[in-house]
Chains A and B, each alone.
Chain A
Amino acid sequence: MIAVIIVLAVLLGVVVLFALFMLGTYNGLIRSRMRTREAWAGIDVQLKRRASLVPNLVETVKGYAAHEKDVLENVTRARAMLEQAGGAAQAAQADSALTSALRSLFAVAENYPQLRANENFLALQQELSDIEEKIAFARQFYNRNVMDFNTRIEVFPNVVIANIFNFAPFEFFEAEETAREDVQVSFTT
């Protein structure tokens, strides 16, 4: 009789411990997913800011260099692509297209002294380059979170819980060209 009670108690203990463990893992995954979504919002804000500046820039440039149609169209097209992009990978693709389109636009602008003297144009140019830098930093933060989350849902035993509750991996925000090279960091202190 006593032996049976002990066995039951041990079984119950194991079940409770297992449930607590599941709960902890599940909450950890939820937290990590929330952080990653938040990090995505950080990129998204900058992408929207950038897209909203483009029409203004195109109008300004048109005032001085209306016949540079190709360059202007490229910029407008890249912006439209960015607006329609679904998912991080597509957004990254569109974003890098917009970056290179803007770059050639600014290169062309060098030939128009009057345009380069336009205050509105200068302010836009400065703000766009600031946003570009902010996107690079936001991307770095987002990708680190994605890496963390994607690793979490793939290792055992998390993978079991991730499958039960349908935790899907995030896409990396990966542009083709990387402005800053990667760095190996080791803590050797």
Chain B
Amino acid sequence: MAEQRVLIYDRIDQNRRTTLILLGAFVLLLAGLSIAIGLVLGLPYPYAPLLIIPFLIFAIVSYYSSASIALGISGAREVGKEQEPELFRTVENLCIGAGLPMPRVYVIEDGSPNAFATGRDPEHAAIAVTRGLLQKLEPLEVEGVIAHELSHVGNYDIRVMTIVVVLVGLAALMADFLLRLTYFGAGRRPSNRGRSGGSAVAIVYAVALVAAILTPIAAQLIRFAVSRQREYLADASGALLTRHPEGLARALEKIAADPDPLEVANKATAHLYINNPLREHRSFLNNFFSTHPPIQERVRLLRAMS
């Protein structure tokens, strides 16, 4: 990807395509799972795919409430211009520079410096920063971090990430359901379905079991791949917005060097933050499963811009 994209509109188009491909892949995955569930339950074929309906309702509800859930479990509190004039003005100015509507602004009362953006589109976006970020970073560094988060908003990364999270959750839920079915349901089916059923049922169960085990892993891998690529791009477009890559580079270094762990983060929200809030040991496996690219690499790329 050596191309230089000046306007965020191109990135939006690209993200729309990614979203569609992701959705397609997940729909196939989920359809397969629901058919497997239907077969295990012994439903006649045409009804099996209908099983996906309750899961879809779950997915839609979580899509619309995911932002408030993420903000809620992080303990974020919405702030206005009166409470945090400087933070608010920074967000306002950068929004003007990026041509974005003003998102809601949240502060998390936690000493560890970090930030994230969430929502399903720029009109319903929210940006949350920790108290530690405001206290430990210089204004230009905070500006770099906010610009990075706003790039996620403008690129529709927040939508892609929301969808990915919802679908990963859904796949995990269905796989779990299937796993329980194969485990507890085995051998309990009425055997009046014909004699050749024995080996066919065994195959169905074997396939269902494999699907139940592999699906969550595949879903996780997609999620990590999707979120890591995005961090580099958000760094780059954030630097384009502030015209000061050094600010974000220094902010990332400070965030990485900070000894305080972010207490409100957990595995479910880790991928949202500008830097992974969970302290990981560096190893090949971790690198592979990491939600974020290594910070030294990001800082190096940012420094190369100035």
Contact = CB atoms under 8 A, between A and B. Distances in A.
A130 interface: yes
B244 A180 contact: yes
A186 B2 contact: yes
Interface in B174-213: none
Interface in A30-81: 35, 38-39, 42, 46
Interface residues of B, number: 32
A184 B305 contact: yes
B93 interface: yes
A116 interface: no
A166 interface: no
Nearest to A187: B1
Interface in B232-246: 232-233, 236-237, 239-245
Nearest to B5: A187
Q: Number of contact residues on A: which range applies?
A: 20 to 34
B3 A187 contact: yes
A185 B93 contact: no
B92 interface: yes
A42 B98 CA distance: 11
Contact of B98 (A46, A141, A182): A141
Contacts of A187: 1-5, 232-233, 236
A45 to B, nearest CB: 9
B11 to A, nearest CB: 10
Interface of B is mostly: helix
Contact of B306 (A133, A137, A183): A183
B232 A189 contact: yes
B243 A183 contact: yes
A134 B244 CA distance: 16
Contacts of A181: 243
B240 A134 contact: no
B302 to A, nearest CB: 10
Interface in B243-266: 243-245
List the 3 shortest-distance A-B pairs measured between CB atoms, nearest first. A137-B97, A189-B232, A180-B243
11 contacts: A46-B96, A137-B97, A138-B97, A140-B241, A141-B99, A145-B7, A183-B239, A185-B240, A188-B1, A188-B2, A188-B304
Interface of A: 35, 38-39, 42, 46, 130, 133-134, 137-138, 140-141, 144-145, 147-148, 180-189
Given A134-B92, A186-B304, 8 more contacts: A42-B99, A137-B97, A147-B6, A180-B243, A183-B243, A183-B306, A185-B240, A187-B4
Interface of B: 1-7, 9, 89, 92-94, 96-99, 229, 232-233, 236-237, 239-245, 301, 304-306
